[in-house]
Structure 1
Amino acid sequence: MTSTPTAVDLNADLGEGFGAWRLGDDEALLGIVTSANVACGFHAGDPATMHRVCRAAAERGVAIGAQVGYRDLAGFGRRRIDYEFGELRDDVLYQIGALEAFCRATGDRVRYVKPHGALYNTAAVDQGQADAVVAAVLAYDPALPVLCQPGSVLFRQAEQAGLTAIGEGFADRGYLPDGRLVPRSRPDALVHDPDAVVTRATRMAADGEVVAADGTVIACQVRSICLHGDTVGAVELARAVRSGLEAASLVVRPFSRQDPAG
């Protein structure tokens, strides 16, 4: 009997411009990825940008996720902020609701939630901030999945609260031996070689493992692969990754439309 091909999602951070400033090629990436992490106005994005990206994603059948971040436009959400629990919960809740308005205006809805930047990295190890993200999702819609690193504190807290946690892998980011991402301050934070990025994406999706910066092979069970839309050559890289996944007989589709078993 023939086994069912493994399905994997391909996501990218989109809508990260602000005002007259555009970051990345949202339109081109929406023709390649299957899920769009749309900035909700705190670390990047503005109402016009959110509306534009939601409309384009809905037209292409790309799943829309709320990419929630710290209230830090100047730092692009990449600077850690120590929040009081209720304030962070409410900031996250506010961002989900804002994006939902534009989804509804385009005939769609928010399909999942993913933290951005420093919030993503902090919630991966800090229970207080992880719990605040979880509380916001529970308050908004307990059916919304949370896209995060497998094995992280956020992943564990989301599951314990009854939410669906979706494991995510980064094909173009370096990993530490403990499974965390290499800090962006280090020169090996990003993987620049296109062939290496494609190989890493396929290995994570098919085998559930990735090679860390020190050469250690670590477990990385994922249902979604993330590529950063703000890197040089992002569109070409995304196209190569998708082609590589499909060449490996992996079905590329939104995780919101995948069977739980894969």
Structure 2
Amino acid sequence: MSIHLQPLSGPLSVPIPTGVEEGEAISFRNIGVSYADARGEPVAAIAGLDLQIEPGTFVSIVGPSGCGKSTLLRVLAGLVTPVTGEALIGGQPAAGTARRLGFMFQRDTLLPWATVADNIRVGTDLAGLAPAAARARLAELVEFIRLQGFENHRPHQLSGGMRQRVSLGRLLAYEPDIYLMDEPFGALDSQTKSAMGRELLRIWAKFRRTVIFVTHDIEEAVTLSDRVVVMAARPGRIVLDQRIDLPRPRDARTLRKDPKYRDLVDVIWQHIETP
């Protein structure tokens, strides 16, 4: 039986350094990515893509399936090599800065045989923390994601939202400068998805890491982001880079009543629906 937990509330207190002042811009310059079709002919997945992301900002990428949203994250992470252009972090090739990146996927990648504590400990191990510091960080993070008492539970004993909280805890334990999030809440029901969005905003407000968030949900993108980048397919390219000039902190239920919010959602939809 899965266990469900109430959404997070209250202040954030995990003492992880923000380091926003030391953050560095992300640049995609003339990115082109191709793959071979069934006949071995090259097909352009992304072509001539340029994008600049300032440190500490929350940027969502939306667009139809197959437009290259997830591929773009993988280029930055060094998992996909572009045929043209380059991805840079602070002016340096992104491929040499992997320590700065943390990846979170739609399906959690928790170790099924490991406990909540052991899954989070993967992050402290990757961060190279000394044993005493790792134990302290683990205790802080378990409290932070409100999973006290569940440290010895395994993923199959948790709800989808709780598993994604563990994934967030592991990400925080690793202390990356940049969060790459590929539809992390896409498999969750709407209520849990909304709760996880609120929790992510709390984390971002506290630590102000750079977030690149891929989603198909336009309202989710507008609610969370400083900017929403719209991509078109065949080949993948940017057709809109929309600044979201809405006050923070944000509440999804309140925002839905704001005419400016509705206008932003409509503008983004129009660009997605345009051939």
TMscore range, shorter length? 0.3 to 0.5
By relative contact order (CA 8 Å, sep 6+), the higher-ranking structure is: 2
Greater fraction strand:
2
Which has the greater radius of gyration? 2
